[in-house]
Structure 1
Amino acid sequence: MQYSETVNFLMMLSNVFIAAYATLLVEFRSPEKVWMRRCVVITGGLIIVNAFFRAAFGGDNYQYVAVFLLTLPYTLLILWCSRYRGFKIVFNVCTCLWMGCTADTAGILAQSLFPGHEWVRLVVRVIGFTLLYFLLRTFRPYYRRMLRILEHGWGILCIPPMVTSFTILYLNNELLPKDPLPVAIALICVTAICAGAYVLIFQLFTKELHEHELKNSRQLMDVQIHLLERQMKAMSNAEEAMKVQRHDMRHQWAAISELVESGNKEAALGLIGTAREHLEDSRTHRWCENDVLNAMFAYYFEQAERGGIDMKIEIDFPEKLPVGAVELSMVFANALENAIRACKDVPEGKRKIMCRSIRYPNLMIKIENTCSGYIEVDSEGLPVSSGEGHGIGSRSIAAFCKKYGAMYDYQVEDGWFRLRISMPKVSSQKDFPPKNSS
């Protein structure tokens, strides 16, 4: 069926949905808003150029060069604006092209059933684009997380949508005008096969994410066990030191008595001072009442001290924690580990970490550290790190906050990197009593 120029132009203009899909999936380079604006402006220019070319040379000629005038330039544009490279971006574009072909296939089927209405294909096409937008929003978080996790295999994942898209374009341009209804059925079959492939891809994504979370859980459990082992060892060493100190104390007090009786007060005071120093050295610092949190603080504060980092610590927890101690300790562990790693890039003498928490009116945590260079923050407000294995801690903190409805905020300003976490307010004041001023 031949369509009017108006309908053909509107169908071409509806391809802007495909561009919107690709933009929805892409993670732009930093600063994100700047690169997003560039992408939108250039996309508008591409649409204008293609509209002009189609109007000047006709739709029949345009359909043979649309791939080179629109698809390829837009793929290169997304590749330029995206934080990622390679087949990860090709999969993005191929997915969006397949969705565009799916919406167009629905329009073709509707047109074959109602051949006397030239607007049917356009209307169904737009409705299909709209419905697919909501489907893509469901797929989007899985895809974005897989961009960070899955490093290989994207080329294979590109094959189903790429083959399907080119097959549908060939059927539309070469065979559809000759025999509309059978070709429409063939288009549906091809689209359904690719849809089945995407179901498998989605299952792959969910499986990979599940395994990744299990791996992180195992790593966090290993860290927890390691911290508790260190704390138990420290307590055992302190207990042994106290036994030795108690044994030696009898001789020390006898010596002090002799010195006092002989009137040698200066020597007696010196011996008392030495005994006091030994007692202080054998004492283990208790950062909080919870054993798991205390073990974690002892480990990371010791690591910071060994790295020549100046620590300022103000910790105050409620007696009843609003979350599990293990999960809260992992939040501090991830944040402190990132802070210690960042301080290693700062010259000695300027390495500082501030760790604070308050319990009233609600539990709030603030961890600050000096840093060097510029740190990017992605669309989810998380710091971006390209190093292998990096960034897992920040995502773990974000998952914790999402689970408990907490608010988190990362800021980089004047050479300081800051993380703030605020837990939801409790319903009763007695759950978080004000700390006694004494």
Structure 2
Amino acid sequence: MISPLFLFLQYRISMAFLMAFQLLFLPLRYKKYISGIIAVGCMCLTGGLDYLYFIAGWGTADILPVTIAQIIIVQATAYLLSQYRDFRALFTGISSATFVLPGNIVSTACFAHKQVIWAALLTQAVIHLILLVLLVIVLRWHYLLEMETNAKEWKWLCIIPTLFYAVTYTMACWPNSIYERKENWTAAFLFLILMGVVYIMLIKALAQHHLDNDLERNNEFLETYARGLRREADMLRESEENLKVMRHDSRHVYQMIGAYLEEGKTEQIKELLEQMDAKLETLTIKRFCENIAINGVISGCEAKAKSENVAFACEADVPSHLNGVNEFELATVISNLLENAVYAAAAVENPENRNVTIQIFPVKEQLILEITNTFTGACTFSPSTGLPLSTKGGNHGYGLRSVKAYANKNHAVFRYSVEDGRFCVRLLTNI
């Protein structure tokens, strides 16, 4: 019979690494010290059950009820820790329990072979540590980003770790320990290999998904940048056409001025010059800032606002060259935010209350962006992403997600709020 002390210590080590996995792979709802207290509480509760079963004499009873109670405690802990209290928390909780299975089985095999507790426990801890470090290096960033940007499909993904855990548990623990069923060793090790292969394929699928998302975002960046350049080119062409017309008309104007001078009609000359000055104003290209791409994006959104009868006010001071930030990405962010703002303001019933304001200016080595707009109805936020829900329908709402992804990638500060009946978005990014 396997040593109860060994099993107790083995379960305690596993629970410590299991909690470490949850703390690292869950987007935490609470501050770190509160999350740590919750994790310690889970370890204490499960440790109490392990002590009663392995040390205090419950070992003659069926281990299945104790295991079910521990599963409930572990999943409840993942639910409490997670910012997203849905299938994403469940998947992470089950995966944390699955993650410790290889170390547990290998350490049990070591103990069965050598009967040395400390060597088996050391092997277990080393395997747990190696797996955890590899997962953090290879998977953690992609995993957290996937949880943040995608709230769907997780209930189906939960099937994978659930089946792995159930099959491994029946082979290694229930109804009898694998220590007593030597014929299960080969199957258990092969199943661990299969589990590793499946998780590697899952990691590759996540990585490919992010590559596809990056490619899609890069195409969006290029499209936005090209749209801004096209807007600049259109304004230049329009200005050149107007200049040609004015050059043609100027001959007649000079003749008229000469005629008025001969007749001493200064008032008519003054009126004619005022008309010429007004035409010159239309020839001037409106320049919001020195950065071509961002100026084109703002110009395009101003034109859209004008067509929707939305008042548009802009104060922009963006350098022509941004060394510390990708101009494509920043232009796309501003485009997404402004398009959302104009769309929301245009839905306001009273045209006098339709307005959008943008302020963007550098402070030291950072760029501050603030966009406010009026809106109608109530502003509701998604429980899964925390972002405002789109009113455009099921195929919309990705603009703010891309902005949030940009903020995460560039360590920018992204905030949004409702203030005095206006929706306000603020972004602080390095330049």
Per the TM alignment, residue 311 of structure 1 is displaced from its structure 2 partner at its CA by 2.7
Instruction: Name the residue aligned to 1:90.
Output: 90
* Distance of aligned partners of 1:219 and 1:175 in 2 relative to their CA distance in 1, 3 Å threshold: same
Structure 1: distance between partners of 2:49 and 2:338: 50
Instruction: Name the residue aligned to 1:393.
Output: 403
2:75 touches 2:93 (CA, 8 Å); kept in 1? Answer: yes
* Distance of aligned partners of 1:384 and 1:63 in 2 relative to their CA distance in 1, 3 Å threshold: farther
Per the TM alignment, residue 134 of structure 1 is displaced from its structure 2 partner at its CA by 1.0
Deviates more, 1:187-196 or 1:408-417: 408-417
Instruction: Name the residue aligned to 2:134.
Output: 135
Structure 1: distance between partners of 2:162 and 2:70: 16
Residue 353 (str. 1) matches residue 358 (str. 2) = yes
Code of the residue aligned with 1:71 in structure 2: it is I
Instruction: Name the residue aligned to 2:263.
Output: 262
Structure 1: distance between partners of 2:408 and 2:151: 22
2:304 touches 2:342 (CA, 8 Å); kept in 1? Answer: no
Instruction: Name the residue aligned to 1:118.
Output: 117
Residue 422 (str. 1) matches residue 426 (str. 2) = no
* Distance of aligned partners of 1:396 and 1:410 in 2 relative to their CA distance in 1, 3 Å threshold: closer
Per the TM alignment, residue 309 of structure 1 is displaced from its structure 2 partner at its CA by 5.0
* Distance of aligned partners of 1:342 and 1:103 in 2 relative to their CA distance in 1, 3 Å threshold: farther
* Distance of aligned partners of 1:315 and 1:422 in 2 relative to their CA distance in 1, 3 Å threshold: same
Could you list the per-position Cα deviations for residues 256-281 of structure 1 after superposition, in whole angstroms to 9, with x for gaps in the alignment? 23223322222221221111011102
Deviates more, 1:230-239 or 1:187-196: 230-239
The gaps in structure 1 that reach 5 residues or longer are 402-406, 424-438
Structure 2: distance between partners of 1:172 and 1:333: 53
1:28 touches 1:35 (CA, 8 Å); kept in 2? Answer: no
Instruction: Name the residue aligned to 1:12.
Output: 11
Equivalent of residue 176 in structure 1, options 178, 184, 208: 178
Could you list the per-position Cα deviations for residues 228-273 of structure 1 after superposition, in whole angstroms to 9, with x for gaps in the alignment? 3333222222222222222222222222232233222222212211
* Distance of aligned partners of 1:193 and 1:414 in 2 relative to their CA distance in 1, 3 Å threshold: closer
Aligned residues: 404
Per the TM alignment, residue 153 of structure 1 is displaced from its structure 2 partner at its CA by 4.4
1:307 touches 1:344 (CA, 8 Å); kept in 2? Answer: no
Per the TM alignment, residue 286 of structure 1 is displaced from its structure 2 partner at its CA by 3.1
Residue 313 (str. 1) matches residue 323 (str. 2) = no
Structure 2: distance between partners of 1:25 and 1:155: 17
Code of the residue aligned with 1:122 in structure 2: it is L
Instruction: Name the residue aligned to 2:283.
Output: 282
Secondary structure of the structure 1 residue equivalent to 2:100: helix
2:298 touches 2:335 (CA, 8 Å); kept in 1? Answer: no
Instruction: Name the residue aligned to 2:69.
Output: 69
Instruction: Name the residue aligned to 1:436.
Output: none
Secondary structure of the structure 1 residue equivalent to 2:248: helix
Code of the residue aligned with 1:368 in structure 2: it is E
1:8 touches 1:59 (CA, 8 Å); kept in 2? Answer: no
Instruction: Name the residue aligned to 2:161.
Output: 161
The gaps in structure 2 that reach 5 residues or longer are 391-396
2:10 touches 2:104 (CA, 8 Å); kept in 1? Answer: no
Secondary structure of the structure 2 residue equivalent to 1:391: helix
Written as runs of structure 1 = structure 2, the 5 A alignment for 1:12-31 is 12-14=11-13, 15-29=15-29
Instruction: Name the residue aligned to 1:404.
Output: none
Structure 2: distance between partners of 1:99 and 1:214: 31
Code of the residue aligned with 1:370 in structure 2: it is T
Per the TM alignment, residue 197 of structure 1 is displaced from its structure 2 partner at its CA by 0.6
* Distance of aligned partners of 1:317 and 1:411 in 2 relative to their CA distance in 1, 3 Å threshold: same
* Distance of aligned partners of 1:265 and 1:384 in 2 relative to their CA distance in 1, 3 Å threshold: same
Q: TM-score, structure 1 length as denominator?
A: 0.78
Structure 1: distance between partners of 2:153 and 2:354: 46
Per the TM alignment, residue 314 of structure 1 is displaced from its structure 2 partner at its CA by 3.6
* Distance of aligned partners of 1:228 and 1:376 in 2 relative to their CA distance in 1, 3 Å threshold: same
Per the TM alignment, residue 175 of structure 1 is displaced from its structure 2 partner at its CA by 4.7
Instruction: Name the residue aligned to 2:197.
Output: 196
Instruction: Name the residue aligned to 2:242.
Output: 241
Could you list the per-position Cα deviations for residues 136-171 of structure 1 after superposition, in whole angstroms to 9, with x for gaps in the alignment? 312211212222455554445334432221222222
Q: Percent identity of the aligned residues?
A: 16
Structure 2: distance between partners of 1:384 and 1:32: 21
Instruction: Name the residue aligned to 2:332.
Output: 333
Structure 2: distance between partners of 1:155 and 1:409: 31
Per the TM alignment, residue 17 of structure 1 is displaced from its structure 2 partner at its CA by 2.0
Code of the residue aligned with 1:297 in structure 2: it is I
Could you list the per-position Cα deviations for residues 199-251 of structure 1 after superposition, in whole angstroms to 9, with x for gaps in the alignment? 11111111111111112222222223333333322222222222222222222
Instruction: Name the residue aligned to 1:367.
Output: 369
